[in-house]
Amino acid sequence: MANSPDRVRVRLSEISPRAYEHPADRGALVALRSLRGFDEVFKRLSGLFNERALRLMFLSSAVRVGPTQFPHVHDYVRDAAYVLDLDEVPELYIQMNPRPNAMAIGSQKPFIVMTTGLFDLLDAEEQRFVVGHEVGHILSGHAVYRTMLLALIQLATRVAWIPLGYIGLRAIVAALEEWYRKSELSCDRAGVLACQDPEAGKRALMKMAGGSALAEMNPDSFLEQAREYERGGDARDSLLKLLSLSGQTHPFAVVRLAELHRWVESGAYQRILGGDYPRRASDRDASVGQEARNAANHYKEAWERSEDPLLGTLRDVAGSAASAGGKLFDTVADRWRGGSSRDSSSSSSSSSSS
């Protein structure tokens, strides 16, 4: 790639998104990626009309960033694509909207949208963090599975009159919402890897919670808020926290900052910058079962760390799920791969005979 960053940042050549993905996000994605061919079919179907319609909408109603429009933001996108070794630099649109938001859209040719509410809220390094966050979504391929989530939510509303069907779909949607929230934590890490300024990421998350008056806020006090939230009070608070997550696709700001801080402090960030990370060439060899166990073990460890009284009762369940879920995913993946191999062999035989 001819593009190069504005200052010296470590380029993470051939980095696999597994390097920064949260265990719960990575477990789901590795399982879905193992069903080779399924995601490609879904990409093509979703890209036929819906993605094109969205791109045309933003092309006609927002400002496309480039060398002559928001050129500094254009540099941020090029830099993030360079650092995370993305094949193509995605388009970015600035949309007039006072609500702070940014999103990555599409699967065939993904693009990024940032609202003026978010653009005006952040300084240059914080904008880099947000752009890197969205590039992380693109590298992970989150858009494909998020489209599936939206389709399931729409289906759930249509079958609301069938009690059992609705309950089943709501359970699936709740699980997908939990994955969606963990995918946001993944891309906070990608944002920090792209801008290579962890403090900028923390500032951006604080501003999303409290607005632009950064001088009135304190990172240590904000982290203390997160610890207080995680501790909870009694079982009533625990239940209220669970209920508050219904319909939420993004983790709360204090949770995001605490998770990002914990990840940086763990040394994972520095190890990746030092070159210790999985490459894309090894993605096909990733174990679906192991990633499922890693995801369940992550929940178990988080609950053991938590002082929340309700979560304390679920620790043994998570341990069992870690083992059972891993075995289940291994079985499904093996059968899929076996079926794909047989199909390939049949195709080869018929091709050679003709």
* Given 51, 91, 134, 291, the catalytic residue: 134
Q: How far is CA 224 from CA 69, 83, 230, 266, in A?
A: 40, 32, 10, 18
Give the per-residue SS3 of the chain. Answer: CCCCCCCCCCCCCCECHHHCCCHHHHHHHHHHHHCCCHHHHHHHHHHHCHHHHHHHHHHHHCEECECCECHHHHHHHHHHHHHCCCCCCCEEEEECCCCCCEEEECCCCCEEEEEHHHHHHCCHHHHHHHHHHHHHHHHHCHHHHHHHHHHHHHHHHHCCCCHHHHHHHHHHHHHHHHHHHHHHHHHHHHHHHHHCCHHHHHHHHHHHHHCCCHHHCCHHHHHHHHHHHHHCCCHHHHHHHHHHCCCCCCCCHHHHHHHHHHHHHCCHHHHHHCCCCCEHHHHHHCCHHHHHHHHHHHHHHHHHHCCCHHHHCCHHHHHHHHHHHHHHHHHHHHHHHHHHHHHHHHHHHHHHHC
Query: Is-catalytic flag, 134?
Result: yes
Which residues are part of the catalytic machinery?
134
